[in-house]
């Protein structure tokens, strides 16, 4: 196997193992020995690619967390199919939550978990996580502004405030759900957010 490809595969193995552990146990409670154990690599092979937990954390945010948010929440809002905007917003902020597995409901959102755990204390992480949210927000603002032009969104809607409200509601309920053993809190969110989205028209 080409050495460059093998090296990349090893890095991905480490990043994926770290992501799973961070997601289940948190960044601070995850140790490098646990990450190494999860990969099945030798200590030497591991340290050949990463010299600290922080560098792994940065890669997890940049390559895994960012990708998840983009694919699940940002890309659909770019509206490549020129779909009606109100149903599209409901797809992203309502149907997305309805489709989560029990484990995803129990563990919450990986990005939001990291924001709450280390977003304030780790400057490099804070900047990367903020960039993910800023990008998500801007894409939504663009979508809502397009909706105004097309007559699908009311002219007096504050698109920036609406975008950050929907993001905050979505991320907030995913965090709150972690302390419940049932979906009642999600059901209440779904009713409220659907009503909010529909009144944008």
Task: State pLDDT tens for residues 46-84.
Answer: 888 898 999 999 999 999 999 999 999 999 999 888 899
Largest CA distance in the chain: 60
Coil, strand or helix at 200: coil
Indicate the pLDDT class of residue 126, thresholds 50, 70 and 90.
very high
Is 45 buried (19+), middle (13-18) or exposed (0-12) by CB count in 10 A?
middle
Coil, strand or helix at 176: helix
Indicate the pLDDT class of residue 4, thresholds 50, 70 and 90.
low
What rounded mean pLDDT belongs to the chain?
Answer: 92
Tens digit of each residue's pLDDT (9 = 90 or more) over 18-31: 999 999 999 999 99
- Residue 3 has a pLDDT of 59
d(CA 72, CA 116): 20
- Residue 182 has a pLDDT of 86
Taking CA atoms, 80 is separated from 76, 85, 132, in Å, by 7, 12, 20
Domains for the chain: give ranges and CATH numbers. Answer: 1-51 (1.10.10.60), 57-198 (1.10.357.10)
Nearest to 174 by CA among 110, 126, 128, 88: 110
Range list of H helices, 99-158: 102-107, 110-118, 123-150
The answer to whether residue 2 scores a pLDDT higher than 60 is no
- Residue 163 has a pLDDT of 98
Taking CA atoms, 126 is separated from 11, 19, 92, 119, 188, in Å, by 23, 17, 25, 5, 30
Tens digit of each residue's pLDDT (9 = 90 or more) over 177-194: 999 888 999 999 999 999
Indicate the pLDDT class of residue 5, thresholds 50, 70 and 90.
low
CA atoms within 13 A on the CB side of 35: 33
- Residue 8 has a pLDDT of 82
Taking CA atoms, 9 is separated from 17, 37, 49, in Å, by 12, 17, 11
């Amino acid at each position: 196997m080409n050495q460059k490809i093998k090296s990349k595969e090893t890095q991905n193995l480490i990043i994926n193992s770290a992501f799973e552990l961070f997601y289940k146990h948190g960044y601070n409670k995850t140790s490098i020995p646990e990450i190494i154990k999860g990969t099945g690599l030798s200590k030497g092979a591991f340290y050949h690619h990463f010299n600290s937990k922080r560098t792994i954390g940065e890669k997890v945010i940049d390559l895994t967390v960012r990708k998840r948010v983009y694919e699940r929440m940002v890309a659909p809002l770019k509206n490549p199919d020129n779909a009606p905007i109100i149903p599209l917003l409901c797809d992203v902020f309502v149907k997305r939550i309805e489709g989560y597995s029990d484990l995803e409901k129990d563990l919450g959102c990986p990005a939001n978990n990291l924001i709450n755990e280390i977003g304030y204390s780790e400057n490099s992480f804070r900047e990367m996580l903020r960039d993910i949210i800023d990008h998500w927000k801007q894409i939504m603002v663009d979508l809502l502004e397009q909706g105004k032009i097309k007559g699908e969104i009311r002219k007096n809607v504050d698109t920036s405030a609406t975008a950050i409200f929907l993001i905050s509601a979505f991320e907030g309920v995913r965090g709150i759900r972690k302390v419940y053993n049932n979906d009642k809190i999600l059901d209440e969110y779904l009713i409220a957010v659907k009503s909010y989205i529909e009144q944008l028209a």
